[in-house]
Each structure stands twice: as C-alpha cells, then as structure tokens.
Amino acid sequence: MRMKTIIILFASLICSHEIFAQIQDADTVRNPIKQGDPAPQVLPKADYRRSLIVIKKQELPVGVKKSLQSDEFKGWEKATFYRNDASTIYLIEIQDPTKTRRYRFTKDGKLIDE
C-alpha cells in the first residue's frame, strides 16, 4: 500500500510539472514582445495646416504666381492659399467638384514634390 501511494504521488508530481510548464509557455504566446525588443512607437498624425497662415492671392510671390499659370494648375485663381509660418513654403489647395488638389511651392515658384 505504501508503494502505491509513492507511485501516485510521483505521477501527480510529474503531471503538475507538465501542466505548470504548459502554462508558462502559453504566457509567452499571448505576449509576443520579448525582452530587448524596441518599444513600439505611435507617431502623431501630421497636421500640415497647424503652422499655415491663410493669405490672399495678391500676397503670393511672383515666382509662385508664374508657376501657377501652367495648365496643370487650372482653377488656381479660386484656390485657398497658405504660407508656412515657420518657412517660406506656400500651399495651394484647389477644390475640384470631386477632389481637392494640393501643391507646395518655394517662394521662387519651384514645385515641391511630396
């Protein structure tokens, strides 16, 4: 009888060890980030209008007005014009019936590719 008790106790110990090992493995599956991984970063949404000032068409530099004469910028006369408060970048928003087109220019009228 004493031998049966020892065998049952030993079998219970092995089973509990296996269960405990599986619980530890399950925890790493739920948390895939391992020690040493860089912290995930969430970048803030860019609000390009924050540093822009609405200006009148007459306030645009001559270089920008000259560049806007191209057929590519048709309808620019009715656009909304912005000047970047921190630099000399100009933003032109042209409202079409189906979409809004935005163009950025330097004060010399050079188109800035986005």
Q: Which mean pLDDT values do the consecutive 10-residue runs of the chain (114 residues) have?
A: 75 66 54 61 55 92 94 91 88 90 93 82
Cα distance between residue 85 and residue 52, in whole Å: 6
pLDDT at res. 76: 92
Written as one string, the DSSP assignment of 22-72 is HHHHHHHHH--PPTTPPPP--PPPP-TTTTEEEE-GGGS-HHHHHHHTSGG
Question: For the whole model, what pTM was predicted?
Answer: 0.55
Cα distance between residue 29 and residue 14, in whole Å: 23
pLDDT at res. 7: 79
Class (C level, CATH) for 52-112: alpha beta
CB-neighbour burial class of residue 9 (10 A; exposed 0-12, middle 13-18, buried 19+): exposed
Q: Phi/psi of residue 7, each to 5°?
A: -65, -45
pLDDT at res. 90: 93
pLDDT at res. 97: 86
pLDDT at res. 110: 94
